[in-house]
Structure 1
């Protein structure tokens, strides 16, 4: 969430094992009080690590939440043998460097069914489900986004989280290694139905334009059967696998987490046919610009190498 990068990696040479730790100092007390979003972000980072390990020719043997007494230790990844059956993961490696969230308008061009199915299969491979709401369900999802946006306008906590993790002043943009810089906000929405969060909030960004967004946005809901920390980590891995796959298919993407941040709005997002599943993420997909690179923390801040 908001490019907070709430993770730390530790590598042990003797056992050829990575540990992924949560950085709970990078939480959002209002928008993510139960750290569900933090776990999803760390799960996405875990998937990228697995992809990179396969790309290097090794097999990533991953274990989620390996120590019940250590809440911050989210996963381990052991480099075990050769990557023999992981070609699908390794093929995603180029997309890690290409994928950026795009908050600019997309074309009103429909995503073909075979591409949608490929993205759904990417989520299934990580133990999650990806569905594309349509008709009345899509209208309901968009109404829930509007309700969340209306609440956020007058919600001090949401405003504080945004203020902390967005960079508007030039010195902050030039020196920050986290957060969302103003050049990645995208234009203000003048028209259209795409569920776009205004990262500027009530603040003014000099030179920022307005634009018309999609009349018929293409959204996808990512869900898991349960709603526990291990499910959040699986959701994060599924999310990143979907995003990397979408990038290789020529798609751009952004997130619409507004209704997921409100407990009473998150529940109605679930599959209306079965009434089951816990929605973990709402994605906007389509054909558009690649999006802007955002800052990253130095490797020395997020990686510790042990003998």
Structure 2
């Protein structure tokens, strides 16, 4: 039997670690409930923060929650428990996306080096340098994804150019689709004091924000951006994919994504996420440019590199942690 005490301060820290995870448009679409008798934290979808037009199937919501699950697992282990996650544990409660039970004493794990990164990780939407990622770092990032049941494919230059073209096409569609554009404006540059949404400060330098008002990199080769402060000419991009495309795969992909981002943070590598093309099924199918005998489903495009840290998106106090029986 584990002898550590699950007091209020520890629970608060566990949930704070979970909500430090990235989420699409910083919607933070999660809620937490503690079953103190079972020593189990439930993670439910906050459907009112879902993106009905941008993410109608809820794939990005599940990825976001998957990122929070990974952070929660790391924090639980940091405090000495063995995290025991279950994905979609109750079919009759579709909004219950996962439970994580605090098991016995934690075994030695590679998570030990990632706890500090949980608190330091955030996206950087600023230009990176042309310095390439070391081969050893790319290998570590690839292994991080593999450890969570996903695949990370670092793109060669010609494939990266193809993905950027798909991203620009998706961005064009998003800005010309009235419903999607309105939904994005609701969350981007929100600044309403709730801690939700993306305030303008995190979107990158004002010099080119007018060309990329809601995302970070799709328009990097717009003629107006070819200035001394424009983005790197040859970005380092990676595609995260899974063998299947079910809800459980989305949750696993989110955990893999966050593990990749935390390992990158530990190595001083900045990252930002290019989600645009994944919001259009026909474009998403073209994001897996490598030949493979087995099917692969792209789940995220990640831009990696060295550059300024940039400001962090705020976090909300609206996770709504309750305790006891439902």
CA deviations over 1:202-240 (Å, ceiling 9, x no partner)? xxxxxxx98311100001100000000000000000000
Residue 146 of structure 1, CA deviation: 1.6
CA deviations over 1:171-206 (Å, ceiling 9, x no partner)? x35x23110001111025759xxxx953289xxxxx
- Over aligned residues, Cα RMSD in angstroms? 2.1
**How is 1:122-137 mapped onto 2 (pairs within 5 angstroms)?**
122-137=144-159
* Correspondence for 2:304: 285
* Correspondence for 1:48: 71
* Correspondence for 2:138: 116
**Paired positions, count:** 290
| Aligned with 1:198 (options 213, 230, 253) | 213
Q: Is the 8 A contact 1:99 1:290 kept in 2?
A: no
| Aligned with 2:251 (options 229, 233, 256) | 233
| Aligned with 1:185 (options 182, 200, 203) | 203
Q: Is the 8 A contact 2:160 2:235 kept in 1?
A: no
Question: Following the alignment from structure 1 to structure 2, what is the Cα–Cα distance between the partners of residues 153 and 72?
Answer: 30
Residue 291 of structure 1, CA deviation: 2.5
Question: Following the alignment from structure 1 to structure 2, what is the Cα–Cα distance between the partners of residues 197 and 23?
Answer: 28
Residue 91 of structure 1, CA deviation: 1.8
Q: 1:38 to 1:90 in 2, by over 3 A?
A: same
* Correspondence for 1:13: 36
Q: After the TM superposition, which parts of structure 1 deviate over 6 Å for at least 4 consecutive aligned residues?
A: none
TM-score by length of 1: 0.89
Question: Following the alignment from structure 2 to structure 1, what is the Cα–Cα distance between the partners of residues 248 and 300?
Answer: 15
| Aligned with 1:259 (options 249, 271, 277) | 277
Question: Following the alignment from structure 1 to structure 2, what is the Cα–Cα distance between the partners of residues 238 and 254?
Answer: 15
Q: Is the 8 A contact 1:197 1:258 kept in 2?
A: no
Q: Is the 8 A contact 1:221 1:281 kept in 2?
A: yes
In structure 1, the gaps of 5 or more residues are 202-208
TM-score by length of 2: 0.84
* Correspondence for 1:101: 123
Question: Following the alignment from structure 1 to structure 2, what is the Cα–Cα distance between the partners of residues 287 and 109?
Answer: 7
* Correspondence for 1:158: 180
| Aligned with 1:269 (options 280, 287, 295) | 287
In structure 2, the gaps of 5 or more residues are 1-23, 217-224
